[in-house]
Structure 1
Amino acid sequence: MLDLAKLTGQIPGISQHLTKEALASRKRLELAENLLGESQARQIELVDSHQKWRDRLIFAAACPVEPLDTKIYLKAPPYTHSVFATDGSQISPSHHEIAYCYLINIGRVMLHYGQSLHPLLDSIPEVFYRPEDLYVSKQWGIRTDEWMGYRRTVSEAQMLAEMASNWVNPPGAHYEPNLALVDGSLILWFIENLPLEARETILLPILAAWEELRQSKIPLMGYLSASRSIEAVNFLRLQACTHETPNCVVNCSNLSDRYPCQVIDPLRDATLWANILEPGQRGPLWKSSAKILELYDESLQVYFCYVHVGTEIARIEVPAWVAEDTELFEQSLGIMLGQVYKGYGYPVALAESHNQAVVRGGDRARFFALLEQQMIRAGLKNVGTSYKETRKRGSVA
């Protein structure tokens, strides 16, 4: 139990710390805006420098493909369109349960506007219990619960592509504007440090699903709420560099403290563009330089921009084939913003797919009760949870 009386004495210290941080943040923001203006005047030169020295940089900086002062109001979504989204949840494996297995539940949502069609809102569960499912990750030193999260990402991508492609590709179907939404980044940062075989096991089916969307001409978009990214701000470090060339390996590799170009750290991209954009506007388009993207096909390279959706600054990511089609890109952004307005601050399709996917405490109990019944019918004896789990569920305190 949390002792609030003991906690109360720590609150004033937190308040004082936050006050100091707010003042420092305002100073960083002013400096960042000055650097942004200076970078705008030298944008072509800095982009060339980025391309020349990117393999010698010690930080990941995105590259702008539009003027840094770009501010564009998004268009309204087309009257008739469809939106597809998936999200996942899981029941983690536990040795204290009646059986060592895990469950992945993928929520699916398909919403149609201006077409007098019923929406699709359901979930697809899958139980993993075979040894090859439970222990395959051990050979790479990856925990089962961590591997389960990776498998969930694969299932989300595959079911999104299957649902959307089957809808737009039946015989005699007519094409309507549409959008496939993903909750989170299209840059799979988490697989960067995985062993090669494990990485391919996760990455290849996801890229195949995204390629299926491209073949079906269904634009894919990743929506990041409360983004912590600093890729765009890192580009300003090229302007802040105090050396003749931004060769970090030669100039700064011997420094153990802050680097000369880290004058605005830890300012985030979203914080900077919150001070620049008006509601309904997007900032410049950027191409990500994340190292993991070297494993992506050229058409699936990730571009992003920041959009003031009214409630926050959202980071919006799209693959290259969408970003390079200006009309499709702007149409997709309009559909996304319409989803945010319908969802009162967050895309309604993503919120509903999460609601379809989430596994609550009651669902978990019913799942294991169903499993217990089947095990008893199969003739298994001594079926039940461990004494530790039983005791925790029935505390007398």
Structure 2
Amino acid sequence: MLDLTKLARQMQGISQHLTVEAAASRQRLERAQHLLTLAQKSQADLVNLQEKWRDRLGFAAAAPIESLSTAIDLPTPPAVHTIIATDGSQIAPSHHEIAYCYLINVGRVVLHYGQSLYPLLDSLPEVFYRSEDLYISRQWGIRPEEWMGYRRTASEASVLAELAASWINRPSQVTSRQGNGNRKSEIPSSIPDPKSPIPALAMVDGSLIYWFLEQLPGEARDHILPPILEAWDVLRDMGIPIMGYLSASRSSEALNFLRLPACPHPVPDCMTHCPGQFDRAPCQVFDPLRDTALWASQLQPGQRSPLWRSSARILELYGAHQIYFCYVHVGTEIARVEVPAWVAENPEKLDVSLSLILAQVQKGYGYPVALAEAHNQAVVRGGDRARFFALLEQQMIKAGLRNVGTSYKEARKRGSIA
């Protein structure tokens, strides 16, 4: 139990610290804005310098694809469009429960705008209980709890592609409400033909750059990354762009590019000039400032920043799906939006898709409504967890197993004598 009386004594110190930190943050932002102005004047030279010395840099700096002064007003979103989104949740394995297993639940959302179609709002659960599912990761030194999270990421991508394929191949008949019941309408409807190019967007919550893969052994990585890339292949072939939406992003990839004009050395050879002190190097003049803070001072609501190409090393395994990103002022915050190369290389599709994200944020009062609903469909609450294990207990007893129940520790923690 939290003792608020004791906690209140510490609040004054926290407020004083935040006041000092706010003043320091303003100074760091001013330095970043100054370096941005310098970089705009010599952007081509800096990009060439970065490309030449990228293997000697001690930090990950994204490369600008457009002018650093870019601030593009996003177009009005088309009235007729479809949004597809997935998100995942799980029940982690525990030796204190009645059985050692885990569950992955993927929330599925398909929202149709300007069309006489019902939305899809549901979830797809999957239970993993076989030894090859539970213990396969131990050979690589990965705990089952971590492996479960990695598999969830792959499942979210695969389900997203399945939803997109189902939408593309949807039947021509339209379910319409007539009278007191539902029936298939044989009368031509006002929506476009299913094969017509209705704008669609596939969305996921979070980054498309799976940084955690860098730390995995190659054999373990081969179980996670290929299904994701295969799902993206499906989306690309169907012409449905995929975007990763990051709220409150803490990335500094774009700011790291500004460390190049801040470098006091003739060339940015970090390995030679600043060995072992990359985080304390003289070019690091605005840490811990984030990209979002800089672009908040450069963009107006409804605008996007220049497009950047990420330099994360894990992207060397992505093949044709290299990741690009930009920052969008959605009105309530600066959001980072990531896309694969085949979306970034189509400027018209990119900006239309970003306008759909902007519309989603407005409908969701600050956060994309499709992603919020996908989360709500996926999340496993306390009651859901209890019902899951109750159902499992019934099946175990029906199978003739005895002494079914939680550990004494778990049972005791769920109650209190106070």
TM-score for the superposition, normalised by structure 2: 0.93
- Verify the 8 A CA contact 1:74 1:280 in the aligned structure 2: yes
Provide the rounded CA distance (Å) in 1 between the counterparts of 2:381 and 2:278: 47
* Residue in structure 2 matching 1:286, options 273, 297, 308: 308
1:395 is aligned to 416
Report which stretch shifted further, 151-160 or 172-181.
172-181
**Which whole-Å deviations, capped at 9, do the CAs of 1:111-159 have from their partners, x for residues lacking one?**
0000111000000100000000000000000000000000100110000
Q: Secondary structure at the match of 1:90?
A: strand
The residue type paired with residue 50 of structure 2 is H
Q: Secondary structure at the match of 2:264?
A: coil
- Which whole-Å CA distance do the structure 1 matches of 2:169 and 2:397 have between them? 45
Distance 1:12 1:151, change over 3 A: same
Letter in 2 for 1:325: N
**Alignment check: 8 A CA contact 1:169 1:216 kept:** no
**Residue by residue, what CA displacement relative to the aligned partner does 1:204-236 show, whole Å, maximum 9, x if unpaired?**
111111111101111000000000000000000
State the partner residue of 1:51: 51
State the SS of the aligned residue for 2:59.
coil
- Name 1:383's counterpart in structure 2: 404
Which of 378, 383, 393 is matched with 1:357 structurally? 378
Report the CA distance between 1:166 and its aligned residue: 2.0
After TM superposition, give the deviation of residue 171 of structure 1 in Å.
7.2
Deviation by residue 1:182-222 (Cα, 9 ceiling, x = unmatched): 10000010111100100111111111111111011110000
Q: Aligned partners of 1:390 and 1:169: how far apart in 2? A: 49
CA distance in 1, matches of 2:69, 2:277: 33
Per the alignment, residue 178 of structure 2 pairs with none
Amino acid at match of 2:135: Y
* Contact 1:94/1:100 (<8 A) preserved: yes
Q: TM-score, normalised by structure 1?
A: 0.98
Q: What is the aligned counterpart of 1:320 among 331, 335, 341?
A: 341
Stretch moving more, 387-396 or 207-216: 387-396
Q: Which of 195, 210, 222 does residue 217 from structure 2 map onto?
A: 195
Matched residue, 1:347: 368
1:75 and 1:334 in contact (8 A); partners too: yes
Query: Contact (CA 8 Å) 2:107, 2:124: kept in 1 or not?
Result: yes
Match of 2:262 in 1: 240
Query: What SS is found at the alignment partner of 2:104?
Result: strand
Aligned counterpart, 1:148? 148
**Runs (4+) of structure 1 moved beyond 4 Å?**
254-257
Number of equivalences = 396
Distance 2:28 2:359 in 1: 33
Q: Which position in structure 2 is the counterpart of 1:223? A: 245
> What is the rounded CA distance, in whole Å, between the counterparts of 2:10 and 2:368 in structure 1?
37
Q: Which amino acid aligns with 1:284?
A: P
Once the two structures are TM-superposed, the CA of residue 255 in structure 1 deviates from its matched residue by: 4.4
Instruction: Report what 1:264 is aligned to.
Output: 286
Report what 1:29 is aligned to.
Answer: 29
Residue 121 of structure 1 corresponds to 121
Which position in structure 2 is the counterpart of 1:88? Answer: 88
Letter in 2 for 1:113: Y
Q: Which runs of 5+ in 1 are unaligned?
A: none
Pair 392,329 (structure 1): closer, same or farther in 2 beyond 3 Å: same
Whole-Å Cα distance in 1 between the matches of residues 203 and 278 of structure 2? 42
Confirm whether residue 61 of structure 1 aligns to residue 83 of structure 2: no
For 2:215, what is the secondary structure of its paired residue? coil
Aligned equivalent of 1:98: 98
